[in-house]
Amino acid sequence: MNLLGELIGTFLMFVGFIGVLAGSLLYRMKQEDLGKMYTSATMMGGGELSDAPMVRFLTRIRGNDSLKKKWAIRILLGGLAMAVIGAWIT
């Protein structure tokens, strides 16, 4: 049980770290960079109603900096929470 707990805790800390990183990056990301990412992600046939989750997400936060920041903070806090829970479990 102890080993399993450490395994789960370490995994949660890792995912949490990725979440914190992704949230911080998204928070700092400029709208123009989102635009570039959007065109690249939809290159060769993509578009605004693409089925790809990445494109759907980009479509939601494009051209709306406050929504983008809200999402960034959510991801960051979620990651932080996961990391704390992971540390507590281990």
Partner 1 sequence: MMLYTAEELASETRSLSETALDELDRGNMDQVRFLLGRMSVGHIELYFGYLDWVTRLAGKILRDFGEAYFENASGKIARFLMAPYAEGLKQGDEKGAVAGIMSLWSHQLGKIDPLGETDNEVAFSLAPCGSGGRLVLGSVYEISPDKYPRLRDGKPLFCRICQHLQGAVNEASGKTFWSAVPDPERTGFCRVRFTKHTSRGKQLFHAEEMYPLVTPRCHQALKRLQSSRMDIQDLLRDQHTEWRSLHDLLNLWVTALFSTIYEEKGMPYLSELVWETYVTMFESTYRMYSMMETRSLFRNLVRMWYYHQATFRVSEEEDRFVFHLDPCGSGGRLYRGEVLMPGVFRYGTGMLRESLEADDITFGRAPFPIYCIHCAATNRDQFEGKPWSFIIDGEAMSEPAAPCIQYLYKKEAPRVAPPKLLKQVGLREAKPLEEEYIL
- Measure the CA–CA gap between 36 and 85, rounded to whole angstroms: 36
The structure tokens 């494009």 sit at 62
Rounded distance between C-alpha atoms, residue 43 and residue 79, angstroms: 30
Q: Which stretch binds partner 1 (CB under 8 A): 1-9, 18-26, 34-42, 70-78?
A: 34-42
Report, in angstroms and rounded to the nearest whole number, the Rg of the chain calculated over CA atoms.
16
First-to-last C-alpha distance (Å) of the chain? 11
Q: Which stretch binds partner 1 (CB under 8 A): 3-11, 18-26, 46-54, 77-85?
A: 46-54
Residue 36 contacts partner 1 per CB under 8 A: yes
- Total binding residues toward partner 1, as defined by CB under 8 A: 26
Cβ of residue 88: shortest distance to partner 1, in angstroms? Answer: 39
Residue 4 binding partner 1, by CB under 8 A: no
CA distance 68 to 46: 21
User: Does residue number 84 form part of the binding site for partner 1 (CB under 8 A)?
Assistant: no
| Chain contacts with partner 1 (rule: CB under 8 A) | 30-40, 42-52, 62-65
